Amino acid sequence: MTKSGSPASASAEHKLTAPGRRTRERIVQAAADLMFRQGVAGTSIPEIQQAAGVSASQIYHYFGDKRGLVRAVIDHQTEASLDGQRPILDHLDSFEALRAWCDAAVANQERRQCEGGCEIGSLASELVETDDATRADLVEAFERWERPIREGLARMQKRGELSADADVHDLATMMLAAIQGGLLLTQIRRSTHPFKTATDAALAHIETFAGR
């Protein structure tokens, strides 16, 4: 299902038959859709059973318990979100690409009428204080998102397009924080203006480090 999931989950999934993988993926997709709309706490195992067309025993067979399924949903939503931002996410190594990436996010929110928010951020806000293992999954999810931003900025710095004193780690974190905060306010206010304001400010700050 994923390219960068935990070694344990990847190993367990590798042992499944092709029909087993398809069933597991169907359960995760159904759970992800329901949890995005209703929240994790508001989504029950019977609802997931019905949506996926499986039995409770199949869910417990593949995931052990609801917490195991939730962790699989985090992995799924992270991969889906990152895939939705490619190929531009893998080429964030110019000011123009960074701007185009933010513009694409605005267009996506406008298509959705600013409803739903961020799939990863919504999970994080509900789950971050539940247990250490789940929080670690969320840390990794955001690291997978921040990494291509950081790597793109590092390539710009290597080419001299960003000055040597630019801290690409901090700049990438700032950019991701602007995106997350902007998405939350966009969802609350049903307007993309907060997202544009936050990301414009972050991009303007990054541009102050433009190489001479």
Backbone angles phi, psi at 162, to 5 degrees: -120, 140
- Is the backbone peptide bond immediately before 87 cis, with ω within 30 degrees of 0? yes
Task: Write down the CATH superfamily of domain 7-73.
Answer: Homeodomain-like (1.10.10.60)
- Residues 152-163 pLDDT 10s: 999 999 999 999
Question: 152 with 91: CB under 8 angstroms?
Answer: yes
Kindly give, in sequence order, each residue whose CB lies less than 8 Å from that of residue 140, ignoring residues fewer than 6 positions away.
4, 78
Which neighbouring-strand residues pair with 162?
A: 210
Count CB atoms within 10 A of the CB of residue 66: 16
**Percentage of the residues of the chain whose pLDDT score is greater than 90:** 83
Q: Indicate the average pLDDT of the chain.
A: 91
Q: What predicted TM-score, i.e. pTM, was given to this entire model?
A: 0.84
Q: Is the pLDDT of residue 2 over 50?
A: no
Q: What ranges do the domains of the chain cover? A: 7-73, 85-207
CATH 1.10.260.40 fits 85-207, yes or no: no
Mean pLDDT, rounded, for 159-185: 96
Backbone angles phi, psi at 210, to 5 degrees: -55, 135
Kindly give, in sequence order, each residue whose CB lies less than 8 Å from that of residue 40, ignoring residues fewer than 6 positions away.
70, 73, 123, 126, 127
- Residues 79-90 pLDDT 10s: 999 998 988 999
pLDDT of residue 13: 55
Q: CB under 8 Å, gap of 24 or more: what pairs does 38-47 form? A: 39/122, 39/126, 40/70, 40/73, 40/123, 40/126, 40/127, 41/126
